[in-house]
Amino acid sequence: MFLIQPENVLPLQSAVAGADVCAVAEQWTPGDLLVLRVASTGAREMPSVIWMDLTSGAGSLDQFVDGEAIVRGAALVSTRLSRPAEEWYLEPLSEIRIGATEFSEQDRKLFSVTQFTTAAGRKFSVPYAVATRPARGRRVWRAKAQGAQANC
């Protein structure tokens, strides 16, 4: 996928910045944005921060299930449909699960969805494909428990 693949590293900017800078081709539209802290699997490097449109990017998170990169943190930024930045708000996420299925009464179809849970406990789903059979999905990321963070 496009997020942190070696073929997307920009050589000039990487040399100037002293780190890999990746090209991301994404159409920015008004709405909610997903912010991910991403790092290579097993590496202790500084994570990259990636911003992506929530609706169009929800289906691409499967690359983090068994991929070369993992999610180390996630949040949702609500741009409130193109309002000034002063009116945006950040909502930390506590879990992301991809590939679960939900039935839509309106469409009378089973959809594959990415399920998000905020730190405040709010749950919502973003559909990305029509599903053929029910599934629980796979966890892409889950925040550490508050008690575990305090003991670090």
**% of residues, the chain, pLDDT over 70:** 75
Q: Where are the domains of the chain?
A: 30-142
**Rounded-to-integer distance, Cα 76 and Cα 59, Å:** 16
**Among the ranges 1-5, 11-15, 63-67, 78-82, which has the highest mean pLDDT value?**
63-67
d(CA 47, CA 105): 40
Contact between 9 and 21 under an 8 Å Cβ cutoff? The reply is yes
Which of residues 93 and 80 earns the better pLDDT score?
Answer: 93
With cut-offs at 50, 70 and 90, classify the pLDDT of residue 74. Answer: very high
Least confident stretch, 2-6, 37-41, 108-112, 138-142: 2-6
The answer to whether the beta carbons of residues 20 and 8 sit under 8 Å apart is no
Would you state the structure tokens that stand for residue 147, as one six-digit string?
Answer: 């008690």
The string of pLDDT tens digits covering residues 87-144 is 888 999 999 999 999 999 999 999 999 999 999 999 999 999 999 999 999 999 999 8
Residues 131, 99: Cα–Cα separation, whole Å = 9
How many Å apart are CA 78 and CA 35, to the nearest integer? 11
Task: Judge whether residue 2 has pLDDT over 60.
Answer: no
Which run of H or E residues covers position 125? strand 123-130
Check residue 7 and give its pLDDT. Answer: 55
Q: What is the pLDDT of residue 146?
A: 62
Answer yes or no: is pLDDT of 147 > 80.
Answer: no
